[in-house]
Copies of this chain bind each other. A is one copy, B any other.
Amino acid sequence: MAKIKVAVLGATGAVGQRFVQLLDNHPWFEVTALTGSDRTVGQVYGEACRWVLDKPMPDYARSMKVVPTEPGLAAAIVFSALPSDQAKAIEPAFAQAGHGVCSNASAYRMDDDVPLLIPEVNPDHTALIKVQQQKRGWSGFIATNPNCTSTGFTIAFRPLLDRFGIKKAFVVSLQALSGAGYPGVPSVDVVDNVIPYIGGEEPKVETEPCKMLGKLNATHVIDAPITISAHTNRVAVIDGHTVCVSLEFDQPIGPQAAAQALLDYEWAAIVRSLPSAPEHVIEVRSEADRPQPRRDRDTGHGMTTVVGRLREDPLFHVKFVVLSHNTIRGAAGGSLLNAELLVAQGIVK
C-alpha cells in the first residue's frame, strides 16, 4: 500500500517539531512538505529550525526545504501546528483546496460543524465532516483536537460518563512549560515559582470536554450536560500536565466502582488498530503518590492517560489525579491519531 502524503504547517515551532518527530517512520504517512514563516522559507529544515526536543531531529526532515504555508501542497492531510490567529486565516484555504486539515489550533474547535476529536472518546463525530463540506462547499475539511489540558481528563471521563453519568467536575491543572511553546515561559518567571494563570486556558477547559462528550445529531453536537470549573496553573515541569479532578455523578459512586469502570471500558475497536494508539488507553495506578509527570508522562509512548489517587470526595463523589503528556497525547500525537482514525474510517484515502 502506498503511503498517504502529509505535510506539517508551522513545522519549525515546538508543536510542529513534535509532528515531525512522531511522523518519523510512520507506517501509513509520508511527509512531503514542511512549511514555515517567511523567515525560514527556502532554508533546509535542519538549519531553519531551532530544535528544542530532547531526542534528535529525525534524519528525513533535516534536508527538506521549508516551503510557504500555502494550499496546493502534495498532501492529502496537512497537520496544522499554526498559532491560533494564523490558523483562523489559513486553515479554511487549505480545506477549500481539498486538503484534510488535522489541526491542533483552537481557532475552529468550537464551530458547530467542525469535529473536536479524540478517537477513543467520540470517533462518530467525524460525521460532521460531511456537514461541514456541504455547508462550506469544501472538498477538504478541518478536524481538530482539543486543548492539551482537556485531553487527559476527557478520556478519563468517557467511561465514567457512560456508566454513571457526570454532573459536575472540578479540575485544577499543574501544567508543563512545553505547553506554552518556544520560547514560551521565561525561566525567571518559573524557577522557585508557580504562575497561577494561563491566558485563555480556563474557558477552553470548561467547554471543550462537553462538546467531545456530547451526542451527535444530524448537524451538530449536543453538549454533554456537565458543568466544569477549572483553575489552571503553570509549574516548573518540562512535559506532562497533571490535573486534580473532583466529580459528582448522577448517583453516589465510590472510588472502587470508578476505578473498575476505567479498567473495564471497551474502547472503540476501530481505535485499537491505529498505529499511534497506545496499548492501554488508560492506566490506573494504585500507589499513593502517582501519577507524577516526570515518571509517568512517557507511559504508552506518551499516548496513555494515567489516572491515580482515586478516593472519596467529601463534597462530590470521587476525586483523582490525571496525567497526560501535553505535547504528545495533548497536541501532535492527538492530531496524528485523529488523522489515522480518518484513514481507518475511509474519510481520507
A residues bordering B, Cβ < 8 Å? 14, 52, 54-55, 168, 170, 172, 174, 177-178, 182-197, 199, 206, 227-229, 231, 233, 235-238, 242, 244, 246, 288-295, 298, 308-309, 313-316, 319, 321
Contacts and interface: CB of A to CB of B under 8 A. Distances in A.
A348 to B, nearest CB: 33
20 contacts: A52-B189, A54-B294, A54-B295, A55-B298, A168-B315, A170-B229, A172-B244, A174-B196, A192-B236, A193-B293, A193-B295, A196-B290, A197-B309, A199-B288, A227-B314, A229-B316, A229-B319, A231-B246, A231-B321, A238-B294
A231 B185 CA distance: 26
How many copies of this chain sit in the oligomeric assembly?
A: 4
Contacts of A309: 196-197
Contacts of A170: 170, 229, 246, 315
Given A194-B293, A292-B195, A206 B314 contact: yes
Given A55-B298, A246-B229, A314-B206, A188 B184 contact: yes
B233 A244 contact: yes
A196 B229 contact: no
Give the 8 A-B residue pairs with the shortest CB-CB distance, closest first. Answer: A183-B186, A231-B244, A197-B289, A172-B172, A193-B294, A229-B315, A192-B192, A187-B187
Most buried by B among A186, A228, A246: A186
A127 to B, nearest CB: 29
B229 A233 contact: no
Contacts of A292: 193-196
A172 to B, nearest CB: 4
A216 to B, nearest CB: 24
Nearest to A230: B314
A265 to B, nearest CB: 22
Nearest to A294: B193
